[in-house]
Amino acid sequence: MNVINVSLEGKGSASYQIGIGYDIADGIGRILAEKQLGARYAIISDSSVSPLHGEAFLKKLHDAGLNVSLMEFPAGEHSKNINTVLDIAARMLASGVDRKCALIALGGGVVGDIVGFIASVYMRSLPYIQVPTTLVGQVDSSIGGKTAIDLREGKNLLGTFYQPSAVFIDLKFLETLPEREFNNGLAEIIKYGIIDDEGLFGLLEKEMPAVKKRKGGFPEHIVERCCRIKKNLVEIDERDQGIRHFLNFGHTIGHAIEAASEYAFTHGEAISLGMKAAARISGRLHGLPLQDRERIENLISQAGLPTRLPERIATDDIIARLKTDKKKDGDTIHFVFLHKIGSPLINGGVTEAVVRETIEGLRK
Ligand code: GLY
């Protein structure tokens, strides 16, 4: 197992390690037995992941000598709400989970967000461990301690910053990932290349055909490179006050498209269109070379992600949703743009006319 340290000493949160490898459940059991993060562990998963991996993972942890139980809740974003939190908390209480226990989030982004949220508030907080099973979870949402549930009014509106005590990334889980969910993660991986690492971007251009065939497993070096980029940003800006915003490249227009599509687009599909839009505005306002824009659009399309906005999603609807974005600061909507691949900047001053024209341009 390769290990990356997330070092948050002196910043109010404890540091932790990200372990990455293939088929590492035995190792996870051994490490948890050694570190004794909890006297007892409760694995919390969802109804998609638990039938595939829950029992096998539970057995590995039992075999390592851990006192561990498994519970699940219905899979899907619609579960990411206060009712699920109350239901899980009640079940935890009934089964005697107390402050000496640690939670294990086994699943994708929704599981990680809910379990992290519960861990941050249950009995005034418990340690939790992230075991992400999706590509998005592995390269992004399991790292950095953002926890959240949705309100009727919008996504992720109740949440905390609460760092996990460890993250374990087992690439074996990716083998059972449906194609669309896999592509969802590819969009975030492309984003890392764009915002931070021209070398990674070039590597993706070269390796994307092999990655798409999913033969021989997902390249560990790519996941590791993404995790290192994320951890560097989190170490500098744990509370998302500045440089961590770079992770939102493509997300401003992307989130608005995702919501306007009524979630018919996955997050990764929507942010692919958002990245294309951000690259085009970067070309107009910040001198992003045409060649870089073309490379971004080609890589998105090579990954099997959309590059065209369908007519059924109205520009007015997207603009209206941009105006209610929770990342807005007063009337200013923050965008992440690019000088070139690997060199991002934050800009709050884009006119509605430019945004509108760019969104219309996504239809061609
Ligand atoms: N997924 C964006 C962040 O963790 O800041």
List average pLDDT for each run of 10 residues in the chain, which is 364 residues long: 93 91 95 94 98 97 97 96 98 97 98 98 98 97 97 91 97 94 97 97 96 88 97 96 96 94 94 98 96 98 96 95 72 87 91 94 92
The pLDDT score that the predictor gives to residue 331 is 66
Q: Calculate how far, in angstroms, residue 244's C-alpha sits from the geometric centre of ligand 1.
A: 7
Q: Are 200 and 327 found together in one domain? A: yes
* One domain, residues 49 and 197: no
Determine if ligand 1 sits within 6 Å of the CB of residue 240.
yes
Residue that finishes a domain, picked among 176, 198, 216 = 176
> In the listed set 134, 156, 176, which residue is the last one of a domain according to the structure?
176
Residue 146 CB–ligand 1 contact under 6 Å? yes
244 lines ligand 1 (CB under 6 A): yes
Q: Are residues 167 and 199 in the same domain?
A: no
- Per the structure block, which two tokens stand in for 248? 């939102």
Q: Which residue has the tokens 């870089």?
A: 292
CB of 181 closer than 6 A to ligand 1? no
Count the Cβ atoms, other than its own, within 10 Å of residue 301: 14
C-alpha distances in Å from residue 259, one per residue of 21, 97, 342: 35, 37, 28
Residues 159 and 193 in one domain: no
Q: Which burial class, exposed, middle or buried, applies to 281 when counting CB atoms under 10 A from its CB (0-12, 13-18, 19+)?
A: buried
pLDDT at residue 326, as a whole number: 58
CATH code of the domain in which 220 resides? 1.20.1090.10
Q: To test the ligand 1 pocket, which listed residue (155, 195, 240, 258) has its Cβ within 8 A of the most ligand atoms?
A: 240
Same domain for 34 and 152, yes or no, is yes
Using the 3D structure, point to which of 157, 176, 195 is the last residue of a domain.
176
Which of these, 358, 349, 324, 329, lies nearest to 250 by C-alpha position?
358
Which residue's CA is the closest to the ligand 1 atom numbered 2?
247
In ligand 1, the atom with minimum distance to the C-alpha of 247 is 2
Mutation probe of ligand 1 site: the residue of 18, 138, 247, 271 with most atoms within 8 A of C-beta: 247
What span, in angstroms and rounded, lies between the C-alpha atoms of 219 and 284?
35
Q: Which secondary structure element, helix H or strand E, spans residue 330, and what is its range? A: none
The residue whose two tokens read 């251009």 is: 205
Residues 151 and 231 in one domain: no
Query: What residue numbers bound the domain in which 315 lies?
Result: 184-361
Is residue 134 a contact partner of residue 181, using CB atoms and an 8 Å limit? yes
Q: Decide: 144 in ligand 1 pocket, CB within 6 A.
A: yes
Number of structural domains found in the chain = 2
Phi/psi of residue 113, nearest 5 degrees: -65, -45
pTM: 0.95
Say if ligand 1 is within 6 A of residue 191 CB.
Answer: no
The answer to whether 2 and 17 are in contact (CB under 8 A) is no
Do residue 249 and residue 202 come from a single domain?
yes
Q: Cα(141) to centroid of ligand 1, in Å?
A: 6
pLDDT of residue 328: 61
64 lies in the same domain as 98: yes
What pLDDT shows up at residue 9?
84
- Say if residue 166 is in the same domain as residue 201: no
CATH (domain of 26)? 3.40.50.1970
Residues 77 and 199 in one domain: no
- C-alpha 354 – ligand 1 centre gap (Å): 26
Residues 216 and 123 reside in one and the same domain: no
Supply 200's token pair: 């990674």
| Residue 131 and residue 13 share a domain | yes
For residue 142, how far is its CA from the centre of ligand 1 (angstroms)?
A: 9
